[in-house]
Structure 1
Amino acid sequence: MCAALAGTLALTACSSGGGATDDGEKKLTFMFRGGPDEKTAYETAIKKFTADTGVKVDMIVTDADQYATKLQAAVAGNKVPDVFYIEQANLQSYVSSGVLADITEEVEASGVDLDNMWEYGVDSYRFDGELQGTPDGALYGLPKDVGPFAFGYNKTMLEANGIPLPDPDKPYTLDEFVQVTKQLTKDTDGDGALDQWGTGLNVQWNLQSLVWSNGGDWVNEDRTEVTVDTPEFAEALQWFADLTNVHGVTPSASEAATLDTYQRWMAGEIAFFPVGPWDVSVYNELDFDYDLIPWPAGETGESATWIGSLGIGVSNTTKLPEDAVKLVTYLSADAAAQQTLVDAGIQVPNLVDMAEEWAAAPDAEPANRKEFLDIVQDYGRAMPAAYTYGAQWYDELWTNIQPVIDGKQTAADYLAETQPKMQSLLDESNATAEQAAAGR
């Protein structure tokens, strides 16, 4: 019997739920997270997989915020799905605890053209026993998707306010961005209260771009030292806080409490806001035109942002390993399956040639979909904790950051206080990773 779980890292391999049915048919279980659009797309794709292979698939779908908990419960209950979504930050713990199968040989034998898949996506699920994301590591999954976190703008608002549309190939400098957002922050109905803002960014999801483009980072190259207490990092965080406290181009805390910035963007009240591929199906139905541009650039002069990803892996104890790998390669790399998911407006194609055609389509919405590909190919990075053994060290940065965002503490002072705490947690994480590696 499987042991009870305590947190996302305490996973124990157990038998999977699939296998042959009483009448001799093969059946796999596939667990994933997503909304109605994703579920419908998978139903269509898997119907074709079953027709082609004769293997039935039971889908287990959860909301995004419930997925990790329900997967843990499945492991604890001796019902590991045959095939399931992998979050990048959990891959090493799944490998160490024997939950994930090494599918390197099966994928290589399948004929999948990995060279026609995004290198970032494939490498995200490689692990060489010490470092994740390296091109020589064993494959413990294939990408469900790559999620380039792009920057968007309300084209209708800029045109209505006489603001020249931004260059799709040249990023704003930080100073230029402030000046434009100041022009767009105003009281449009004359009641004495602001009802239109230049931007409305969330520090936890948007600081990465600013720090990286300003020459800072969270950790060193081998992920052993935290590097947030630097002038480059502090300048980026202070600039972010100053958008609200000095320049006044974002909704105040009270205004955001009434209606958050995502809702205000959707209502056409915010000029510049992030856009992920998962947003496109919803954003394309908004009452204003929007498009994508490079992220504003700091001292390096170059845009930066993060690329999210989910993987699809195989249980180490599945009773149908060959069929499970076939399902993974089908969902990740089959052109027909990819087209089904792309048509649902929930992701960028995993296949490079398909993605290039998708981005160049004359009816593309948003028009500059190529920006998504530029991020994946050129200037996107993994989130800071994507390739470490757990994310506690990274999460510590956000724990007490609010006084900085509220203008009550300087970024430099806060980072000096926080770096030692983050370093201690990263040291613990790396020690745990070493212990897990020794026990494999």
Structure 2
Amino acid sequence: MRKSRLIAGIAAALVATSTLAACGSGAGGSSAEDGTLTFMFRGGDDEKKAYQDAIDRFTEDTGVKVKVIVTDADQYATKLQAAVAGNKVPDVFYVEQGSLQSYVSSGVLMDITDEVAEQGVDLDNIWPYGIDSYRFDGTLQGTPDGQLYALPKDVGPMALGYNKTMLEEAGVELPDADEPMTREDWLKVLKKVTKDTDGDGEVDQWGTGLNVNWTLQSFVWSNGGDWTNDDRTQVTVDTPEFADALQFFADLTTKDKVTPDPEQAATLDTYQRFMEGQIAFFPVGPWDVSTYNDLDFDYDLMPWPTGTTGDPATYIGSLGIGVSNTTALPEDAVKLATYLSTDETAQQTLVDANIQIPNRIDTAEQWATAEDAEPANRQEFLDIIEQYGRAMPAAYTYSPQWYDELFVGIQPVLDGKTPAADYLAEVQPRMQELLDQTNEQAEQAAAAGSAP
């Protein structure tokens, strides 16, 4: 998700190589001669070990051998692009939400709708958001009626965490696990915990420290704003609701001074400052839990503060597990994708490694209510999935360039030099032009993919 520009380049490469991918020999990246599947994914050491354990068990249960190709996160997209261009697409591989349509149009991804159904998978026990993220009806992605082109590797709700130890020491009432704070009440707490703790005249503890790319969504959506209309044809950032949310976000630094300023953030980024115990409120994804559980202070999760709608909002990320359209072993490949995404034992292996929450709803509910749950309010992750989480604005469009454009020139707003409303009025036409181009590209790719 954090490589949207690179994904756009991959989308273009996939269209350019569509004939190659669709009309190749069928060998793909598999070692079909000896019945070995290839599975390509990305991840750190914890994820690598957990997936190897799950795959070893898959081989024991099915007799199907799997060659694992694993890369670091920042290398995955480039290596997958090279595999596509070289007609060596892995049998099974990670799929970004934002690249699904280009993979489908270029013939790289297999439609697995019928194959998954034949395996008798209970999709009703998998988070609907995860399943629908990889459905595409030829026009819109993320709709429940589309064909299924991948299964969820995970769903990643972005929760808001807080330093419980810091708040208790400051005499602040801990956030309610069920009742969200208004952003005004939250700001009062941010100001109370922002202080100079060592008396040297410099602030060294802050209320929060948020990255605009990954947290502005919460404030905009909760304020009744959005990036586009429902059918993703009109950019809607030039509204009072959006401007008010962006201005509030910018004011946290420039006016309210409850976040590290750019110079302080450059010295030590806010992620590190949170882990050092210098920041009270900071986002927490499931992928952070294995790290955060070893911090020197207690932390927990809370609902995101609310804007004018009175409802919290945040985004849910996801990765999918797709099957190559040119695999020589389609039955085994779908079986592996299904196993990793939905099998109870496989899911438990990944969950025990603290790298994701369960895809299976029943398993997730048990996980959230475990007596030894850490963080204690794991339920917040599930509340986001079930109640108030949304896909990122560009997750279901053919290219993210229109969305990225908002952030290209946003710094003067964050520095307090340009009012949010002025900037949004100026950037909206450029975003609209790029969105129009994106939708035209999607139509052209769909037409090319359906041509005989």
TM-score computed with the length of structure 2 as normaliser = 0.95
Which amino acid is the alignment partner of residue 129 of structure 1?
G
Match of 1:163 among 140, 153, 172: 172
Match of 1:325 among 309, 312, 334: 334
Deviation by residue 1:338-377 (Cα, 9 ceiling, x = unmatched) = 0000000000100000000000001000000000000000
2:418 alignment counterpart: 409
Match of 2:211 among 202, 205, 209: 202
Q: What is the alpha-carbon distance in structure 2 between the residues aligned to residue 231 and residue 182 of structure 1? A: 26
1:178 alignment counterpart: 187
- Cα displacement (A) at 1:438: 1.4
- Cα displacement (A) at 1:6: 9.0
Q: How many residues align?
A: 433
Q: What is the alpha-carbon distance in structure 1 between the residues aligned to residue 134 and residue 201 of structure 2? A: 53
Which amino acid is the alignment partner of residue 190 of structure 1?
G
2:266 alignment counterpart: 257
Deviation by residue 1:274-330 (Cα, 9 ceiling, x = unmatched) = 000000000000000000000000000000000000000000000000000000000
Which amino acid is the alignment partner of residue 46 of structure 1?
I
2:433 alignment counterpart: 424
- Cα displacement (A) at 1:79: 1.1
Match of 1:17 among 17, 29, 36: 29
Q: What is the alpha-carbon distance in structure 1 between the residues aligned to residue 175 and residue 107 of structure 2? A: 50
Match of 1:64 among 56, 73, 76: 73
- What is the Cα-based RMSD across aligned positions, in Å? 1.0
- Cα displacement (A) at 1:20: 3.0
2:4 alignment counterpart: none
SS of the residue aligned with 1:368?
Answer: coil
**1:223-262 → structure 2 map (5 Å cutoff):** 223-262=232-271
**1:18-417 → structure 2 map (5 Å cutoff):** 18-21=30-33, 25-417=34-426
SS of the residue aligned with 2:207?
Answer: strand
SS of the residue aligned with 2:10?
Answer: coil
| Stretches of structure 2 lacking an aligned partner (at least 5 in a row) | 1-6
Q: What is the alpha-carbon distance in structure 2 between the residues aligned to residue 200 and residue 132 of structure 1? A: 33
- Cα displacement (A) at 1:77: 1.7
Note if contact 1:19-1:320 (Cα within 8 Å) is conserved in structure 2: no
Q: What is the alpha-carbon distance in structure 1 between the residues aligned to residue 58 and residue 231 of structure 2? A: 40
2:9 alignment counterpart: 7
| Stretches of structure 1 lacking an aligned partner (at least 5 in a row) | none
Which amino acid is the alignment partner of residue 32 of structure 2?
A
SS of the residue aligned with 2:345?
Answer: helix
Q: What is the alpha-carbon distance in structure 2 between the residues aligned to residue 6 and residue 44 of structure 1? A: 33
Q: What is the alpha-carbon distance in structure 1 between the residues aligned to residue 93 and residue 166 of structure 2? A: 42
SS of the residue aligned with 2:100?
Answer: helix
SS of the residue aligned with 1:309?
Answer: strand
SS of the residue aligned with 1:306?
Answer: strand
- Cα displacement (A) at 1:78: 2.0
Q: What is the alpha-carbon distance in structure 2 between the residues aligned to residue 257 and residue 400 of structure 1? A: 19
Deviation by residue 1:49-83 (Cα, 9 ceiling, x = unmatched) = 11111111111111112111110011112211000
Off by >2 Å, runs of 4+ in structure 1 = none
Note if contact 2:8-2:400 (Cα within 8 Å) is conserved in structure 1: no
Q: What is the alpha-carbon distance in structure 2 between the residues aligned to residue 265 and residue 310 of structure 1? A: 26
Note if contact 2:92-2:333 (Cα within 8 Å) is conserved in structure 1: yes
Note if contact 1:187-1:194 (Cα within 8 Å) is conserved in structure 2: yes
The alignment-based identity, stated in percent, is 73
SS of the residue aligned with 1:171?
Answer: coil
Which amino acid is the alignment partner of residue 7 of structure 1?
G
Q: What is the alpha-carbon distance in structure 1 between the residues aligned to residue 123 and residue 37 of structure 2? A: 24
Deviation by residue 1:208-240 (Cα, 9 ceiling, x = unmatched) = 000000000000000000000000000000000
Which amino acid is the alignment partner of residue 182 of structure 1?
K
Note if contact 1:26-1:54 (Cα within 8 Å) is conserved in structure 2: no
- Cα displacement (A) at 1:175: 0.7
Deviation by residue 1:171-191 (Cα, 9 ceiling, x = unmatched) = 111111111000000000101
Note if contact 2:8-2:399 (Cα within 8 Å) is conserved in structure 1: no
TM-score computed with the length of structure 1 as normaliser = 0.97
SS of the residue aligned with 1:248?
Answer: coil
Q: What is the alpha-carbon distance in structure 2 between the residues aligned to residue 94 and residue 341 of structure 1? A: 26
SS of the residue aligned with 1:146?
Answer: strand
Q: What is the alpha-carbon distance in structure 2 between the residues aligned to residue 84 and residue 265 of structure 1? A: 33
Q: What is the alpha-carbon distance in structure 1 between the residues aligned to residue 40 and residue 304 of structure 2? A: 34
- Cα displacement (A) at 1:126: 0.3
Note if contact 2:129-2:385 (Cα within 8 Å) is conserved in structure 1: yes
